[in-house]
């Protein structure tokens, strides 16, 4: 039985992405110390050569490589020691043929030198004379001027999420501040007459807010900033007022819950009224998460997420996170943390629908097995216990016990 | 040629871990909103059942399952509608045999009901009468009281890094604050007469601080807090004074650089004087990173990291990060982001040494190829450009072109 009514998630996502201009967020210039994890808004050009001079990569003796050609233990080359190069200083002499100078790792090569012999390959005869026991070729044990980065060269591309070593490199070329996209603000509206704040005592019929806490963490991890708009009654005026406020205050609006009969259409109606073109899909061919609503309102993405905690998680990963990265114009390759495992029991799926199965992992006889947590998508603990997600593509009717699967690790 | 003088990195690490008590950090109680990514210091027990009542997982009609047995399209069961259950309310009636009540997703089941028929499988004849077109079994479309979490049950174990969904679950059971380990403070001392702050103009012989920026980011990502102690001259008194201050102010001390001849021993001497047993290894059988110093001083880990930017990165991953996790008593499984690739050129290694090769990745004819970036470990840009690291174990003499390797993705 094909589920023909709804789009597959990647097709549904495309409808939204087509409405959102990549890199549509404002930019800001921030000190590099604050830029870890932020996304560059422009190519970053090196303002100078790194290093600005030739440096030794070892402790040893700076030489003209040609003076060492043919040197070996049995017939060393003899060189006159012209001096010592202190760290961080400019050598106040140059080397002529047959001359050398002691140098430490990171030290600046004197003029005339083009290589460094490691201390281990030298016999110090006196303070004026050494034996070189091993030949070096020109450039050996040397970092050339501009070998790390050249003036004018792009050191970091636009659309790159800055890693620790990227910030290190920026510091190295003397860049103190960097132009990045502002982090998008993602507002969270909770709907449902049964939802109460987590600080309140539950009474029969009521449940505490779980989703705003899960969503806030997922939003942080995606490089955005959560904005909690509170819990709203399943009522048109209240929802409309809060949705309009959220739309003004944030770059992406998430409305969760509102899954009770009739209220689904209320959420879609309110979203539709926020802007054009409005709702792009209402429902997608996924499990869990089928009732998801995706919309773009005057260039701003708006989602209606189902209230089940597991569906919220899956819909965030499938729709909201890619939209955040699209708005930040991220160009980095997206590698997932995947491991191969065998599925420990058969699972039925439905053709035309993509299923996302929570699994736990364990090792048996040197093999990794994935055990499905077949509990309801309303159970948050099943997501807490899950170590990974197995994706069953739409063309499959399920998985057979013992079949090899790729598990995406949750962490 | 076996490199017998030095320990392999995992053996060297063991020497330090043996000196550090797991979970030796102080604890603090913080609101769950602030606890994303923090590590629990005790098992967290659910103070109540979640949910506290039986809930419907669908929109439909609450029933006694036995009333629907045998029902099908051709011979439906007829049930009398006793009422409607508003969201978030306690039903003010119970169901007897032959009775039903309309219910929304998340609604509380009335007494007497043990299942819910989905709206799609019901024909509403009048406001008082429905036809059930499909049988349900007891418990179908229902979340039982305590099915998500039971009062007294461990919901999150000690030593767990809290994920977004974990915080959601804590909110769900009404836990507003959580006991976590304080984040360890990791101090960074830069040594080297050639190092200048990144805000200064370079002059010949000088290079800017790269490592404190790379390290600070790696420290954040590992769940700790960096503390920069500044740039210190390669001089005993200055280094000793700063090291003692760092030792007082932080939980882990990192001293980077000090790689110039003679200064290596200075760093080791200063570390040794900080406490017992002092230096545990000076050098490890790795490339890059061979000159690394590992120490424990009265239960506090202290490291001397080589000054080359790539060596700093590798030594952090191999030594400092595992020590941070050990101090936080993290019990989570550690999955790495690995992909299989073919190596695009042969690489020589040395038996008895573990090599870590920076690679870029690209796809050719449907296969992923890893191209080694064979530049010097002093070049920070090679780490910026690298997409992954290939680890050559100590028993291998290298890798042959086209050989399959596991690449650990850097991100």
**Mean pLDDT of all residues in B294-314:** 96
CATH number of the domain enclosing A357: 2.40.340.10
How many domains does chain A fold into? 4
Q: Is residue A275 part of a domain?
A: yes
What confidence category does residue B3 fall into, taking pLDDT thresholds of 50, 70 and 90?
Answer: very low
* pLDDT at position A3 over 50: no
Least confident of A197-211, B250-264, B307-321: B250-264
At residue B1, the pLDDT reads 38
Q: Residue B409 and residue B411: Cα distance in Å, rounded?
A: 6
The percent of residues above 90 in pLDDT, for chain B, comes to 88
**Mean pLDDT of all residues in A34-54:** 96
Residue of A nearest to B378 (CA): A57
The dihedral through the CA atoms of B74, B80, B84, B85 has a sign that is: negative
In sequence order, what are the residues at sequence separation of 6 or more whose Cβ sits closer than 8 angstroms to the Cβ of residue B203? A90
pLDDT tens for each residue of A124-135: 999 999 999 999
How far does A298 lie from chain B, in Å, by closest CA?
Answer: 30
Residue of B nearest to A203 (CA): B52
CA distance between the termini of chain A: 35
Q: Reduce the DSSP state of residue A381 to 3 states and report it.
A: helix
At residue A158, the pLDDT reads 97
If you compute the radius of gyration of chain A from its CA atoms, what whole number of angstroms results? 31
* pLDDT at position B94 over 50: yes
Q: Is residue A1 part of a domain?
A: no
Are B220 and B314 contained in the same domain?
A: yes
Determine contact: A5 vs chain B, CB below 8 A. no
Distances, alpha carbon A199 to alpha carbons A207, B33, B110, B332, in Å: 11, 12, 26, 28
At residue B411, the pLDDT reads 84
Are A223 and A313 contained in the same domain?
A: yes
**Mean pLDDT of all residues in A321-325:** 98
pLDDT tens for each residue of A70-84: 999 999 999 999 999
CATH number of the domain enclosing B228: 3.40.980.10
> Last residue of some domain: A296, A327, A358?
A327
In this predicted model, which residue has the larger pLDDT, B145 or B262? B145
Polymer length of chain B: 411
At residue A77, the pLDDT reads 96
- CB contact under 8 Å between A87 and B260, yes or no, is yes
CATH number of the domain enclosing B119: 2.170.190.11
Q: Residue A116 and residue A334: Cα distance in Å, rounded?
A: 41
The β-bridge partners of A286 are A354
Determine contact: B259 vs chain A, CB below 8 A. yes
Q: Residue A176 and residue A30: Cα distance in Å, rounded?
A: 9
* pLDDT at position A351 over 70: yes
Determine contact: B225 vs chain A, CB below 8 A. no
Question: β-strand B300-305 against B252-257: which pairing, if any?
Answer: parallel
Q: Residue B13 and residue A301: Cα distance in Å, rounded?
A: 48
DSSP A65: G
Interface test with A, best of B154, B205, B209, B316 (most A CBs within 10 A): B205
Q: Reduce the DSSP state of residue B140 to 3 states and report it.
A: coil
Q: Is residue A253 part of a domain?
A: yes
Give the residue among A160, A80, A75 at the shortest CA–CA distance from A112. Answer: A80
Determine contact: B242 vs chain A, CB below 8 A. no
pLDDT tens for each residue of A217-244: 999 999 999 999 999 998 899 999 999 9
* pLDDT at position B2 over 50: no
Are A315 and A345 contained in the same domain?
A: no
Q: Residue A292 and residue A283: Cα distance in Å, rounded?
A: 5
Give the residue among A261, A289, A292 at the shortest CA–CA distance from A279. Answer: A292
Are B163 and B37 contained in the same domain?
A: yes
Q: Is residue B246 part of a domain?
A: yes
> Assign residue B23 a region: left if phi > 0, alpha if psi is -120 to 50, beta otherwise?
left
Are A218 and A100 contained in the same domain?
A: no
> Last residue of some domain: B86, B119, B143?
B143
What confidence category does residue B234 fall into, taking pLDDT thresholds of 50, 70 and 90?
Answer: confident
Backbone φ, ψ for residue B256 (5° rounding): -110, 155
Are B102 and B226 contained in the same domain?
A: no
- CB contact under 8 Å between B156 and A383, yes or no, is no
Are A166 and A259 contained in the same domain?
A: no
* pLDDT at position A2 over 60: no
Are B34 and B165 contained in the same domain?
A: yes
If you compute the radius of gyration of chain B from its CA atoms, what whole number of angstroms results? 31
Q: Which domain holds residue A76?
A: 55-143
* pLDDT at position B208 over 80: yes
Distances, alpha carbon B225 to alpha carbons A33, B221, B222, B248, in Å: 13, 9, 9, 15
Q: Is residue A310 part of a domain?
A: yes
**Mean pLDDT of all residues in B153-180:** 97
Q: Is residue B230 part of a domain?
A: yes
* pLDDT at position A4 over 60: no
Q: Residue B200 and residue B302: Cα distance in Å, rounded?
A: 29
Are B285 and B210 contained in the same domain?
A: yes
> Last residue of some domain: B296, B327, B358?
B327
Q: Helices (H), strands (E): how many in chain B?
A: 8, 28
Determine contact: B39 vs chain A, CB below 8 A. no
At residue B374, the pLDDT reads 79
Are B266 and B234 contained in the same domain?
A: yes
Are A167 and A41 contained in the same domain?
A: yes
Are B177 and B35 contained in the same domain?
A: yes
Q: Is residue A332 part of a domain?
A: no
- CB contact under 8 Å between A335 and B411, yes or no, is yes
In this complex, the residue of A207, A307, A411 whose CB is nearest that of residue B335 is A411
Q: Is residue B153 part of a domain?
A: no
The β-bridge partners of A101 are A62, A83
What confidence category does residue B74 fall into, taking pLDDT thresholds of 50, 70 and 90?
Answer: very high
């Amino acid at each position: 039985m094909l589920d023909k009514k709804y789009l597959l998630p990647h097709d549904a996502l495309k409808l939204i992405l087509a409405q959102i201009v990549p890199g549509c967020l404002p930019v800001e210039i921030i000190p590099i110390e604050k830029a870890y994890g932020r996304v560059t808004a422009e190519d970053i050009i090196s303002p100078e050569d790194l290093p600005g001079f030739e440096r030794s990569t070892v402790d040893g003796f700076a030489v003209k490589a040609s003076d060492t050609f043919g040197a070996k233990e049995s017939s060393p080359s003899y060189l006159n020691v012209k001096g010592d190069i202190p760290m961080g200083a400019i050598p106040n002499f140059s080397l002529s043929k047959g001359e050398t100078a002691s140098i430490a790792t990171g030290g600046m090569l004197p003029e005339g030198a083009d290589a460094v012999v490691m201390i281990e390959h030298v016999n110090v005869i006196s303070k004026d004379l050494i034996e070189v026991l091993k030949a070096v070729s020109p450039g050996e044990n040397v970092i050339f001027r501009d070998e790390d980065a050249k003036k004018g060269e792009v050191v970091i591309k636009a659309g790159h999420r800055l890693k620790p070593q990227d910030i290190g490199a920026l510091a190295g070329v003397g860049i103190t501040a960097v132009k990045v996209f502002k982090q998008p603000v993602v507002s969270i509206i909770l709907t449902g007459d049964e939802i109460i704040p987590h600080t309140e005592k539950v009474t029969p019929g009521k449940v505490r807010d779980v989703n705003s806490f899960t969503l806030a963490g997922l939003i942080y991890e995606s490089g955005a900033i959560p904005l909690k708009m509170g819990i709203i009654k399943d009522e048109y005026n209240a929802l409309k007022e809060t949705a309009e406020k959220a739309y003004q205050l944030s770059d992406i609006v998430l409305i969760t819950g509102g899954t009770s009969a009739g209220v689904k259409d209320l959420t879609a109606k309110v979203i539709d009224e926020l802007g054009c073109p409005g709702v792009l899909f209402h429902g997608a061919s996924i499990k869990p998460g089928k009732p998801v609503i995706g919309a773009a309102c005057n260039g701003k993405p708006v989602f209606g997420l189902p209230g089940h905690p597991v569906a919220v998680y899956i819909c965030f990963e499938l729709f909201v996170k890619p939209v955040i990265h699209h708005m930040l114009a991220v160009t980095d390759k997206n590698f997932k943390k995947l491991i191969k495992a065998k599925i420990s029991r058969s699972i039925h799926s439905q053709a035309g629908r993509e299923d996302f199965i929570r699994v736990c992992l364990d090792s048996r006889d040197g093999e990794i097995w994935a055990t499905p947590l077949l509990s309801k998508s309303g159970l948050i603990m099943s997501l807490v216990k899950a170590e990974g997600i197995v994706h069953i593509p739409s063309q499959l009717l399920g998985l057979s016990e013992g079949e090899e699967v790729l598990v995406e690790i949750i962490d």
